[in-house]
Amino acid sequence: MKNYLVVLAAIVLINPFLESQNTSDLYQKETIVLEAVSEYGENNNWEEMFSPPSDISTVKVHGLHYQIAVAPDGSVFMSDKYYPDIYKFDKEGNFIDTFNADIKSRFEFSIPEVEGIFNDRYFFTTNGYDGIQFFDFEGNHMKTLSIDFFPIECKPLGNDKVAILGYTPWKNNDTKRMIVIKDFYTGDEITIWSELINYKRGEIKIHLSSGSVMNLSVPGNYPIPQLATSKLGDLIVAFPDDGNVEIYSPEGKMKEGFNLKIEAVKIKQEDIDEYYNVGKSNINRFKERLLKESNFSNTEIEEMVTQYKEQIGKLKDKSIYPDHLPYFTKVLIDSEGNLLVFRYTDKKNTNKFNVYTHTLTGKYLSTSSFSTNEFNLNFSSNTFIFHNNYIFNIAENKDSNGTFKQLVKFKVD
Partner 1 sequence: MNCLTREETQKYIDNELSADMHNCISNHIKSCDICKGLHSEVLKDVKQLHKYLQVFQVDTESIPPVENIINAQKTSVFTTPVFIKSIAAIILILVTLSILIPYFDKPDRITESEWIVNNLLNDNDPNKQWNDNQILITITNSSDELVLSFALDNSDKINK
Q: Scanning residues 58 to 97, which ones bind partner 1 (CB under 8 A)?
A: 59-65
Nearest residue (CB) to partner 1, 188 versus 346 = 346
Q: Using the rule CB under 8 A, which residue among 338, 351, 368, 397 binds partner 1?
A: 351
User: What is the identity of the amino acid at 118?
Assistant: F
Which 1-60 residues touch partner 1, going by CB under 8 A?
52, 56, 59-60
Segment contacting partner 1 by CB under 8 A, of 11-19, 137-145, 183-191, 339-347: 339-347
Q: How far is the CB of 282 from partner 1 (least distance, A)?
A: 4
Q: Which is nearer to partner 1, 172 or 186 (CB)?
A: 172
Applying CB under 8 A, among 233, 367, 381, 387 the residue interacting with partner 1 is: 381
Q: Binding partner 1 by CB under 8 A: which of 89, 275, 390, 392?
A: 275
- Restricting to residues 246-265, which ones interact with partner 1 according to CB under 8 A? none
Among 4, 58, 213, 399, the residue binding partner 1 under the rule CB under 8 A is: 213
Report which residue type is found at 220.
G
Q: Would you count residue 193 as binding partner 1 (CB under 8 A)? A: no
Residues in contact with partner 1, total (CB under 8 A)? 71
Q: Does 210 bind partner 1 (CB under 8 A)?
A: yes
Strands, E assignment, 198-352: 203-207, 213-217, 226-229, 235-239, 244-248, 254-259, 330-333, 339-342
With contact defined as beta carbons under 8 Å apart, do 163 and 147 qualify?
no
E strands, 337-377, are 339-342, 353-356, 364-368, 370-371, 375-376
Q: What is the gyration radius of the CA atoms in the chain, in angstroms?
A: 23
Distances 408 to 66, 328, 384, 394 between C-alpha atoms, Å: 13, 25, 10, 6
Ramachandran category for residue 207: left, alpha or beta (phi over 0 → left; psi -120 to 50 → alpha): beta
- At its nearest, how many Å lie between partner 1 and the CB of residue 277? 8
Contacting range for partner 1; rule: CB under 8 A; set: 10-18, 205-213, 243-251, 364-372:
205-213
Residues 6 or more apart in contact with residue 49 via CB below 8 angstroms:
87, 95, 404, 406
Torsion of CA 253, 256, 259, 260, to 10 degrees: -100
CA separation (Å) from 80 to 12, 201, 314, 332, 394? 45, 30, 34, 21, 11
196 contacts partner 1 (rule: CB under 8 A): no
| Contacts to partner 1 from residues 283-312, by CB under 8 A | 285-286, 289-290, 293-294, 296, 304
Binding mask 141-180 vs partner 1 (x if CB under 8 A, - otherwise)?
---------x-x--------------xxxxx---xx----
Which among 4-12, 344-352, 359-367, 405-413 is the span making contact with partner 1, rule CB under 8 A? 344-352
Question: How many whole angstroms separate alpha carbon 405 and alpha carbon 377?
Answer: 10
The 3-state secondary structure of 233-276, one letter per residue: CCEEEEECCCCEEEEECCCCCEEEEEECCCCCCECCHHHHHHHH
What three-state secondary structure class fits 154? strand
Q: Which stretch binds partner 1 (CB under 8 A): 19-27, 32-40, 179-187, 375-383?
A: 375-383
Which residues ranging from 217 to 246 are in contact with partner 1 (CB under 8 A)? 217-220, 222-224
What is residue 116's three-state secondary structure? strand
d(C-alpha 90, C-alpha 76), whole Å: 6
Binding mask 101-120 for partner 1 (x = CB under 8 A): -----xx-x-----------
Question: Between 229 and 393, whose beta carbon lies closer to partner 1?
Answer: 393
CA distance 97 to 86: 8
Binding span for partner 1 by CB under 8 A among 85-93, 137-145, 342-350, 365-373: 342-350
Q: Rule CB under 8 A: which of 387-406 touch partner 1?
A: 401-402
Residue 183: C-alpha distances to residues 116, 147, 188 (Å): 16, 12, 5
The residue from 8, 18, 142, 278 that contacts partner 1 (CB under 8 A) is 278
